[in-house]
Amino acid sequence: MQNNSANPLLQDFIETCKTHNLKVTPQRMAIYRELVDSTEHPTVDAMFQTVKKEYPNISYDTVSRTMLTFAEIGMVDLVEVYGGAKRFDPNVTNHHHLHCVSCGKILDFHNDEYNNLEIPDHVPQGFKVLTSRVVLKGICNKCSNPGNVSP
């Protein structure tokens, strides 16, 4: 087992687990570490494939339950994807998404104007808005230039 005490991210993780009475296991730690490392907004399946390399005996169910627990306690976010598998977002700060409708890739982007979007006075049915996120749908660079092979 490696020494994680120097890593502030894992220190935070351990603190959050303690707050929520969640046992810190090496598997949970690995899932969290891989999630935070990922910029792909991975599905449970993608994360299972990654974590399995380090923990060959881990079950899909464990990965799935762990990720949902992380989302429940606000350690990670769930991305609004309509239909298809749930996608997880380790970036819980205010940011926006570029969503490729061709390959399904979701990229983060930051924009001050979008961060301060004005919410209309009359949101229907007395709905109280807590946060807002802008999702720009389109075609990513890779999908619009499929033949593009780097030199």
Distance in angstroms (rounded) separating the CA atoms of residues 133 and 131: 7
Taking the C-alpha atoms of residue 114 and residue 134, their distance in angstroms, rounded to an integer, is 7
What interhelical angle do 60-72 and 26-37 show, nearest 10? Answer: 70
**From 47-55, 61-69, 81-89, 126-134, span contacting Zn ion (CB under 5 A):** 81-89
Whole-angstrom distance, CA of residue 36 vs CA of residue 34: 5
User: Which position among 11, 108, 111, 135 is part of the footprint of Zn ion (CB under 5 A)?
Assistant: 108
Each residue 23-62 as x (binds Zn ion by CB under 5 A) or -, in order, gives ----------------------------------------
The answer to the question of residue 103 lying near Zn ion (CB under 5 A) is yes
Distance CA 106, CA 95 (A): 12
User: Min. distance of Cβ 116 from Zn ion in angstroms?
Assistant: 18
CB of 150 to Zn ion, least distance (A): 16
Contact between 28 and 17 under an 8 Å Cβ cutoff? The reply is: yes
Check residue 78 for interaction with Zn ion (CB under 5 A): no
- Regarding 140 and contact with Zn ion (CB under 5 A), the answer is yes
Tokens of 1: 């087992």
Of 34 and 89, which CB lies nearer to Zn ion in the complex structure? Answer: 89
- C-alpha closest to that of 102 among 133, 147, 142, 46: 142
| 107 binds Zn ion per the rule CB under 5 A | no
- Binding part of the chain for Zn ion, among 31-39, 48-56, 96-104, 128-136 by CB under 5 A, reads 96-104
Strand partners of residue 89: 77
Contact residues for Zn ion, defined by CB under 5 A = 89, 91, 100, 102-103, 105, 108, 140, 143
